[in-house]
Structure 1
């Protein structure tokens, strides 16, 4: 699907026009995209949104209609509008693969090319990466809470519009969800589609048993019956068991029942007891109704017997403490080969200058120990002293380890280098990466802080630039 280059903030275009006027359009520039705080007050994030972002970069073109609209704003000179007619993204993108576990204060994307091309794509890259990384992270947390239970994404009707609904379904499955209720996402991304029926189905028939029988007749091998329209234990479950017996007599099986209200831990225990006693241990129990990782954890802690969790609003909107938005930023780090940094009174918001690598320290058993941001030509090994990027007085020593690049070149000269991966591959990467994290990083309350450090050379470069800025300010 084509995304218009006008899906951007106005200042991207005014800056482009200004660079063109100043003769700066073809200067070579490097930007880093990263976030400063792990979402949900958690210990990690799951990287997602890269493939749609790269699709947008490959297809970036201004149509005559779009140029005509810009002309109607009476902001831009004819020379700039003519420049846009042949505008293409021909830059390079370095990034992790989707499904990778990532952390605050390390570059996710590094985008290099002419100043105008790498400036223009800021908004669309942040739009794709911020939202999908946030939802994938939420999904990973929910799936962790679910243990052996499956998680299905049910959030389309509460998502932020059609585009948000599609992106949420995709990202949720990267984070570990096993399917979605979103049929268009199923077609577009090859996701399993799952669903039951609404309370209105039951209410449309003279009684609950008639409604269940009708649904089972229509879908004899895939029926999941919603059992709480009237009363879960005295009406819904007994009627579902009656239909299960009738299906079995005809050579079919009831797939499951759904609980959508009430005390889900208690009701799922009772439902399991009743289904087992009736001879249907294979009938699965699906729970829904404003679920998130905290609710699911409490259901399991209270002995709930839920097999499948249908998670809607709080997954598709990524709501919860530390949620709402990822807060990713896109900052200039080099221009014409010269490192650049943003200095601020809050060191946590100061940028890391220069073109960089992100290395992951891997222990002898394959576990992840910490990440290291370094300059491209740095030579670092186990035993190197490394520094906290937000507090230079805090430092540690790299233990004996193997250092591997977290990222790779995924686009060069505006062309993708890798075929788009199946979402199942990304989801497996997410599962594997989380298993290699220290256990404390995965807990929901006061998670262990996974270290992201900077190399001595990068620290020294930042200090030199700060001193140069201080000197220039004193002279002024």
Structure 2
């Protein structure tokens, strides 16, 4: 069974917080079944200059197969919180709504809807947790990975970046989705074989220190491994890094044309200094084409530091700090009601309000670079490129929401990232001056809805 199919089978419609199910029963009991509008968005940037939207594919897969199995209904029945008639109604439940979203791999900014769900309010409410789970995590990782790729200059050079994060990511599902999100953001390959199979990602990897330690000598390990994998990258820092480089050179000279080792990997110590010395030794021996690959606690900041020191490194393996987005491991995402029964709704809480009504986002350009996003009301026609597509209609995917291979999404992400001003792709956390504004109609709706709600509150006061 494919990994995502297995995930759906295990979670089904119970991948929800309890209050989504209790609210669903309350809506059903009250006969509240008119269409609600919910936006999923991020409230603030934190240490990022932009976010890279990701996770839509798994969200749509969930929505189009959403149902309550007999096992799920039996479990709910045992909780003594749900009536028999409601559970009977759930037995035929399916998602019948519409979904609008920015394509995966699109840079987005705070308050802009990444996903908008328009459906009978109980349906739209039920799917909150799953959508937040998938979009939040994958957007978190894609946004981090994009910075790693940018720091490595991988889009402008032949320098490689590989995902090594599976072993320390928070669970196997997270490891799968992290590998996918990182690839969409521009990472070249993953060590995660299951993700390679599930999403069609290139896989990469060679040996561990234990393989070298298990042999009677380092050179014996190198010889045996390169016999089996002639294009391998040898891990040279198990004992003495420069000694390992010299043994690699000796092996290459011994084998002449029989074995062509692709490269060496540095995994500890002063990587810049070791890379310089390794490059010198390899070049002097006539092996200018042997690449130097580095790993070990890397992130975008350490990569930038290594390259600033002129380290002749051709590729980076990045694990824990990318797979967990260690400097910003979660986004302040929200899934908020912004309309019901044709009437705009919003939350008024301090620092947690949201924009009412249905929306479109227009990205405006000058000199082939994005300069401004305008959050508009749905139906407005403004200058710029509209970002949100209808990806699901009446519970079925549209052409815009059709499943796409990771390579196609990756290409879209690269093109859209290239649209951003250069300053937004720098690591400087202080650069947050991309303009996001409300259209006149959206601002008018926001003010009118806020005043209407305040008036209601005043009228209800004792």
Counterpart in the other structure of 2:94 = 88
Q: Please state how far the C-alpha of 1:362 moved relative to its aligned partner.
A: 1.9
Residue 391 of structure 2 is matched in structure 1 by: 410
Q: 1:269 aligns to what?
A: 276
More displaced stretch, 451-460 vs 131-140? 451-460
Question: What's the counterpart of residue 367 of structure 1?
Answer: 369
Give the match for residue 288 of structure 1: 295
Q: Map Cα deviations across residues 263-303 of structure 1 (whole Å, 9 max, x no partner).
A: 11111111111111111111111100010000000000011
TM-score, normalised with respect to structure 2: 0.94
Trace 1:105-184 onto structure 2 (pairs within 5 A): 105-147=111-153, 148=157, 149-184=159-194
Deviations 1:417-463 (A, max 9, x none): 23322212222222222221111112212113211111112111111
Cα RMSD for the two superposed structures: 1.2
Alignment CA distance shift 1:52-1:247 (3 Å): farther
- Give 1:42-57 correspondences, 5 Å limit: 42-57=48-63
Tell me by how many angstroms 1:247 deviates: 4.1
Q: CA deviation at 1:376?
A: 1.7
> Distance between the aligned counterparts of 1:119 and 1:199, measured in 2?
50
Report the Cα offset of residue 379 of structure 1: 4.6
Q: How far did residue 228 of structure 1 move?
A: 0.3
Q: Secondary structure in 2 aligned to 1:116?
A: helix
CA contact (8 A) 1:318 1:324 kept: yes
Q: Alpha-carbon deviations, 1:376-430, whole Å to 9, x = none?
A: 23354xxxxxxxxxxxxxxxxxxxxx41111101111111123322212222222
Give the Cα–Cα distance (whole angstroms) in 2 for the partners of residues 98 and 441 of structure 1. 19
Paired position in structure 1 for 2:35: 28
Distance 1:277 1:428 in 2: 39
Q: SS at 2:124's partner residue? A: helix
Consecutive unaligned residues of structure 2, counting only runs of 5 or more, are none
Report the secondary structure of 1:4's partner residue. helix
2:78 paired with 1:72: yes
**2 CA distance for matches of 1:333 and 1:253?**
61
Q: For the Cα contact (< 8 Å) 1:151–1:308, is it kept in 2? A: yes
Distance 2:379 2:391 in 1: 20
Tell me the residue number matched to 2:444.
Answer: 460
Residue 333 (str. 1) matches residue 338 (str. 2): yes
The alignment partner of 1:160 has SS state of coil
Whether contact under 8 Å (2:111, 2:354) holds in the other structure is: no
8 Å contact from structure 1 (residues 173, 423) kept in 2 = yes
Match of 1:227 in 2: 236
- Give structure 1 stretches of 5+ with no counterpart: 381-401
Aligned to 1:303: 310
Secondary structure of the corresponding residue to residue 360 of structure 2: strand
Offset at 1:15? 0.5
Deviation at 1:57, TM superposition (A): 0.7
Aligned partners of 1:103, 1:304: CA distance in 2, in Å?
34
User: Which runs of structure 2 are paired with 1:195-210 in the superposition (5 Å)?
Assistant: 195-210=205-220
Tell me what 1:431 maps to.
414
